[in-house]
Amino acid sequence: MTSITAASLAERLARIPKLVLFGAAALVQIGLLAVMIIDRAQVLRDGAEVILQTRPVDPRDFLRGDYVVLGYDITQLSTGPLQNQPSGERNPQVYVKLAPNSEGVYGALSVHAAPVAVTNPEVLIRGRVIYGATCGSKWDTFCEKITVRYNLESYFVPEGEGRKLEDIRNQGKLSVVAAVLPSGRAAIKRLLIDGKPVYEEPWF
């Protein structure tokens, strides 16, 4: 019965003009793109703003097209009490509690394997460990230090601007304003040079 049904379905699909199938596929792709755009707009609109200090990227990642590679003071972290705890996988998700210093720049207070409560002005940002989750005898516990990605590591800029911004980044003059939702999801909202806005991310 199943083979007959499958054959019947294949026959019906064969009768559908290819143009209709291509059109349906295009509509699906447009729909997925629209969902991604709306989702990002929600983060930028509703997320709490935090200022993050960038740091030189070493080894240096060259420009691919017109975007700047960004590293942060919160990229490499000590795990604290999380050290030697089960990581569950090679690249687990973690939550980093952030708080501002006297200059309003956010730094890491602690790292957690699951969401924890925060109090204003603290913020919880979600990231994924790319190094440091494979220690212990079974290679399945958190190491003393980890490297975390937050989906904030690249930013597209106007043509020809990338190299200049990389130089400014390496001088410690570039910072980022990120929008962070209560769920921990984050997106870059604007770039700052010496504290002054230079690039603003449009919602759409």
Q: Which of 33-37, 62-66, 77-81, 149-153 has the weakest average pLDDT?
A: 33-37
131 has a pLDDT exceeding 90: yes
173 has a pLDDT exceeding 90: yes
Domain-wise residue ranges, the chain? 2-43, 48-200
150 has a pLDDT exceeding 50: yes
167 has a pLDDT exceeding 60: yes
Q: Is 57 exposed, middle or buried (0-12, 13-18, 19+ CB in 10 A)?
A: middle
Q: Count CB atoms within 10 A of the CB of residue 85.
A: 13
What band does 53 get if pLDDT is binned at 50, 70 and 90? very high
pLDDT tens readout for residues 102-127: 999 999 999 999 999 999 999 999 99
In sequence order, what DSSP letters do the residues of 73-126 get, joined into one string?
Answer: TTTEEE-GGGTTSB--SSS-EEEEEEEE-TTSBEEEEEEESS-----TT-EEEE
Residues paired with residue 176 on neighbouring β-strands, in sequence order = 52, 191
Q: How many whole angstroms separate alpha carbon 182 and alpha carbon 166?
A: 30
pTM for the model stands at 0.78
* CA distance readout (Å), 89 to 74, 111, 125, 150, 183: 21, 16, 20, 17, 21
Hey, is 10 helix, strand or coil? helix
pLDDT (mean) for 133-138: 94
pLDDT at site 153? 94
Q: For 171, which DSSP code? A: T
Asked if 77 and 55 count as a contact pair (C-beta separation under 8 A), the reply is no
* CA distance readout (Å), 72 to 38, 145, 150, 154: 27, 15, 10, 11
- In this structure, the dihedral spanned by the alpha carbons of residues 137, 142, 145 and 148, taken in order and rounded to 10 degrees, is 140
pLDDT tens readout for residues 58-117: 544 454 557 788 999 999 999 999 999 999 999 999 999 999 999 999 999 999 999 999
- The whole-chain average pLDDT of the chain stands at 84
Max CA pair span of the chain: 71
Q: How many whole angstroms separate alpha carbon 129 and alpha carbon 88?
A: 12
Q: Which residue has the higher pLDDT, 44 or 184?
A: 184
Q: Which amino acid is at 22?
A: F
198 has a pLDDT exceeding 80: yes
pLDDT at site 24? 56
Q: Residues 6 or more apart from 110 whose CB is under 8 A from it?
A: 80, 81, 96, 97, 116
Place of tokens 């420009």: 63
pLDDT at site 30? 58
